[in-house]
Amino acid sequence: MATPWTNWARTASATPHRVEHPGSADAIAEAVVAARGVRPRGSGHSFTAIAAAPEVAIDLDAWTGIAEVSGSLVTVRSGTTLRQLNALLDGLGLALPNLGDIDAQTIAGATSTGTHGTGAKLGGLSTQIAAMELVLANGEQVRCSPEERPDLFDAARVGLGALGVISTVTLRCVPAFVLHARETPGRLDQVLEEFDHLTAVEDHVEFHWFPHSDNVIVKRNNRVDEKPAPLSRLRHFYEYEVMENGAFGLVCRIARAVPRTTKALNRVCGSLVSERVYQDVSHKVFVTPRRVRFVESEYAVPRAALHDVLRELRAAVGRLDHGVIVPVEVRVAQGDDIWLSTAHGRDTAYVAVHQFLGMPYRQYFDAFEQIAGAVGGRPHWGKLHSLTAETLAPAYPRFADFRKLRAELDPTGKFTNDYLDRVLG
């Protein structure tokens, strides 16, 4: 029986003929062999239709947990969510060195789309992978690492689910650590002036800019050799549930219902930012509860181009026919060697634009895409963009190699869907 599916942001949907819930690598292989067309779908946190399954969907919710621990190397089953993984690692006295601010994704989905946090000396989540196991289109179960099938390893770490179904991921973890978090209000021009210094001296730094003003929130997270001193339960509830989700959600709904209030409400939100200082185990600092639904587009641009991109974006926001209620997020990452990583071969700044669900965003996102594209920007694989294989190929030195490997491993296009046809050809 067909089962309708919609992603978290309600920007993609599919009605696969059936959904498989394999509980082992062998069962994954059986499901792949039996299907003419198949997609692994993670937890549906991508804004694009990358996980849409036109025929058979593989849901790995029965294939979770840690399979093996060898020192700091931890092998995880691919359906494990980051939330589950963080708790399991915590119990082992381990942690991932860097995370984004959402933990609902599966480890396979997060790495396959290039999920990242922030840190000038750190790469995205996929750079933490030491080895992987995949099920190929013919049902073969293969392992890849820097020593075994290195080309497959360099391609599959950000593989878009186009090369096979990931069964396990082996991660290089670090001893559990505490982060000191400091969140402060600031002004955009001043933050940009200091940004290179900030990213050099802080372990993790990002800022959120309210686009109808010059107000920003600057977030600095640094490792400390001290015990956790988290916000009190009451303060945590007030800050995150009451203010960041409840009150901000209400503001967004008002803006959606009465569009002419959007710009003023955005300015008010920006002016109400206050300082927040605490320290806690790393994943509790990295991750923020996100209950207000939005749509998002994010581009990876060369670090040196960030100032120009934000100057152009600021001007473009002033020309929009509509207001923007959700802040712009800016983060950084170290360059890497993964074939389809958005940080391939260059130190990178990430600029993400958002709009509350149900509010106009197309004009805004199109303007942003033009600005980012002019400096060689690469779109996040799991966030909204309009690029095709033809326009993406020049941005990735190993794009042709990825396509060639994909053709060898999946000659009949068993793992494709409309989105992959558009971005890979």
| Domain segments of the chain as ranges | 5-56, 64-175, 180-379
CATH architecture of residue range(s) 64-175:
2-Layer Sandwich (3.30)
Residue 146, CA atoms < 13 Å, CB-side half-sphere: 6
Using CA atoms in the order 148, 151, 152, 154, what is the torsion angle rounded to 10 degrees? 100
Token output for 260: 């002419």
pLDDT at 412: 96
pLDDT at 292: 92
DSSP character for 311?
Answer: H
Can you tell me the distance from the alpha carbon of 55 to that of 82, in angstroms, rounded to the nearest whole number? Answer: 27
Residue 186: closest CA among 283, 325, 327, 295 = 327
- Residue pair 384/295 in contact by the 8 Å Cβ criterion: yes
Residue 87 has a CB neighbour count (10 Å cut-off) of: 12
Burial of 409 (0-12, 13-18, 19+ CB in 10 A): buried
Q: Determine the 3-state secondary structure of 138 from DSSP.
A: coil
- The tens-digit pLDDT sequence of the chain (425 residues) is 668 999 999 999 999 999 999 999 999 999 999 999 999 999 999 999 999 999 999 999 999 999 999 999 999 999 999 999 999 999 999 999 999 999 999 999 999 999 999 999 999 999 999 999 999 999 999 999 999 999 999 999 999 999 999 999 999 999 999 999 999 999 999 999 999 999 999 999 999 999 999 999 999 999 999 999 999 999 888 888 888 888 899 999 999 999 999 999 999 999 988 899 999 999 999 998 888 999 999 999 999 999 999 999 999 999 999 999 999 999 999 999 999 999 999 999 999 999 999 999 999 999 999 999 999 999 999 999 999 999 999 999 999 999 999 999 999 999 999 999 999 99
Given this chain, do its domains 64-175 and 180-379 carry the same CATH topology?
no
pLDDT at 1: 61
In Å, how far from its chain's centre is CA 33?
A: 30
DSSP 233-293: HHHHIIIIIIIIIIIHHHHHHHHHHSGGGHHHHHHHHHHT---EEEEEEHHHHH-----S-
pLDDT at 174: 98
Can you tell me the distance from the alpha carbon of 179 to that of 8, in angstroms, rounded to the nearest whole number? Answer: 29
Q: Say yes or no: domain 180-379 is CATH 3.30.420.40.
A: no
Can you tell me the distance from the alpha carbon of 275 to that of 82, in angstroms, rounded to the nearest whole number? Answer: 28
Residue 179: closest CA among 207, 219, 209 = 219
Global pTM value: 0.96
Residue 76 has a CB neighbour count (10 Å cut-off) of: 25
Can you tell me the distance from the alpha carbon of 166 to that of 107, in angstroms, rounded to the nearest whole number? Answer: 10
- Residue pair 59/53 in contact by the 8 Å Cβ criterion: no
First-to-last C-alpha distance (Å) of the chain: 30
Q: Give the helix/strand (H/E) hosting 215.
A: strand 215-224
Using CA atoms in the order 151, 153, 159, 163, what is the torsion angle rounded to 10 degrees? 70
- Residue pair 171/274 in contact by the 8 Å Cβ criterion: no
Residue 52: closest CA among 424, 417, 388, 381 = 417
pLDDT at 238: 83
